[in-house]
Amino acid sequence: MRTHILYILVLACLLSCRKDKTTSIFGETPDQRLEKALADYKSRLTGAAYGWKTAVFPPAGGGYSFFMTFDTAGRVTMYGDVTADAATTPENSTYRLKAVQRPSLLFDTYTYLHLLADPDPNVYGGVTGQGYYVDFEYAIDSVATDSIKLTGITYGTKMIFVKATKAEHDAYTSGQFSDQLTNIQNFIADFPWQYLQFADGKKLQVSINTATKNFTLIYLDADGKVQLLSTAFYFSTDGLYLQTPITYGSYTFNEVFWDADNQVFYIKINGARIDVQVADNSIIPMHQLLGVSFTSIVVPPQSIPGWSADFTTMWKSIAASLKSGNYGLTLYYTYFTFDVSQQVMKLDVYIIQNNRLYLAEYPYTYTKTTDGVFDFTEQAYQGNAGLIATDMAPLRNRLRNDHFTMDFYAGTLGQLKSVENTGFYFTGYLE
């Protein structure tokens, strides 16, 4: 009898335990908790009265900012600084909140963010098949009152949503942000030479590259060597926001503000404003930036500003000689490319025959004085260079017999000028 009673008690206990397993200790099933979390995230996204601002810094460099508003119907409206259109015209697309291993935000139709992830380099550049390695599907890491931290699912892109203010919302939606971008880009084009000057009296050249989205301070150290302080940036409603702070001596800043009324950049150090000054020319001599800011001077086949009459006449005679020669060649772009570490300069002449492009390469070694005077020595050449050596002789003779200086011209061009024959000089594009 005791055995039967004990068996009944054990069976009852087992049944009771099995029944308990169907009830979560949290009072909800995992699916219910996940659904509740996704609903909470959606409520936060759609509940931001003035939307969200965010930015990404792709591994390839540069920074890109975005402004987004989310509605309850699964639509997102987006602006950005990726292109002029992105800053001006809102992109409307769809989004989803979904569990992909963990709660995630998916931009599931094409947005301005997708430009950076587009696998076709003809769309926005980047690597074929990968773009700029930027995600458009993000796992939600954490949520605070005014921010949401996310990590890209494929490439690990870090993104932080920060609640926008009314002023920021109005700047994007009214076109003020777009106008500011245009004004900044025009200002940089009109005044390419700018600098900061601190209490030590040293002038630090400011370079703002709006194509690569890089901000750089350039200066000469005590030994006369060029030093660079550089970081990526994105455009904000205040000006430029730097990916990492710039530190020079005891001065550190991570924003470059834009004063639209006075048309000037400035920074803040311990609350004090320091304006970026405009210069007439580069603070750093061009020859010292060779191999730092550029490696090539590219001379086009047609005349551009900064060519002397002597050079123009010579260039036209070279083109005519190539055209009337045995091969019927058309003079195309010519590259003066420098390898500073080896003190080698390659004169690469591109020529066209029957719609096919060919290269003639003339190698030179060179020396340079501390004042930036170049002395070129031609080395042995072969192939196509030998076939057009006579046609190119006027330029080759100049390079062999003259000394040259280099300087910036009209801000964006580089100019080589003969020391012995001051009426012989020419310009080219810097790369």
Domain assignments of the chain as residue spans, ordered by start:
30-174, 177-284, 289-430
Residue 185 burial by Cβ neighbours in a 10 Å radius (0-12, 13-18, 19+): middle
Segment 268-289 shows an average pLDDT of: 95
- The pLDDT tens digits of the residues spanning 153-172 come to 999 999 999 999 999 999 99
Pairing between strand 264-269 and 251-259?
antiparallel
Average pLDDT, the chain: 92
Weakest mean pLDDT among 5-14, 180-189, 309-318: 5-14
- The pLDDT tens digits of the residues spanning 376-410 come to 999 999 999 999 999 999 999 999 999 999 999 98
Weakest mean pLDDT among 5-19, 112-126, 255-269, 274-288: 5-19
pLDDT of residue 26: 52
Give dist(CA 59, CA 135) in Å, integer: 12
pLDDT of residue 104: 94
Confidence check: pLDDT of 335 > 60:
yes
Confidence check: pLDDT of 421 > 50:
yes
Segment 362-373 shows an average pLDDT of: 97
Confidence check: pLDDT of 7 > 60:
no
Residue 36 confidence class, pLDDT cut points 50, 70, 90: confident
Confidence check: pLDDT of 272 > 60:
yes
Segment 80-93 shows an average pLDDT of: 96
Of the options 2.40.128, 2.40.50, 2.30.30, 1.10.20, the CATH number for the domain spanning 177-284: 2.40.128
Asked, colleague to colleague, whether 177-284 and 289-430 share their fold, the answer is yes
Residue 35 confidence class, pLDDT cut points 50, 70, 90: confident
Q: Are 44 and 37 in contact (CB under 8 A)?
A: no
Instruction: Give the domain 289-430 fold.
Output: Lipocalin (2.40.128)
Confidence check: pLDDT of 8 > 80:
no
Give dist(CA 408, CA 416) in Å, integer: 9
Confidence check: pLDDT of 264 > 50:
yes
Segment 233-259 shows an average pLDDT of: 97
pLDDT of residue 389: 97
pLDDT of residue 119: 87
- The pLDDT tens digits of the residues spanning 224-239 come to 899 999 999 999 999 9
Give dist(CA 118, CA 6) in Å, integer: 70
* Highest mean predicted confidence (pLDDT) among 119-123, 222-226, 424-428: 424-428
pLDDT of residue 24: 54
pLDDT of residue 102: 87
Question: What CATH number labels 30-174?
Answer: 2.40.128
Residue 28 confidence class, pLDDT cut points 50, 70, 90: low
Segment 321-338 shows an average pLDDT of: 97
pLDDT of residue 65: 98
Give dist(CA 361, CA 347) in Å, integer: 6
pLDDT of residue 10: 44
- For residue 350, give the amino acid letter: Y
Q: What percent of the chain has pLDDT over 70?
A: 93
pLDDT of residue 129: 79
Confidence check: pLDDT of 19 > 80:
no
Confidence check: pLDDT of 15 > 60:
no
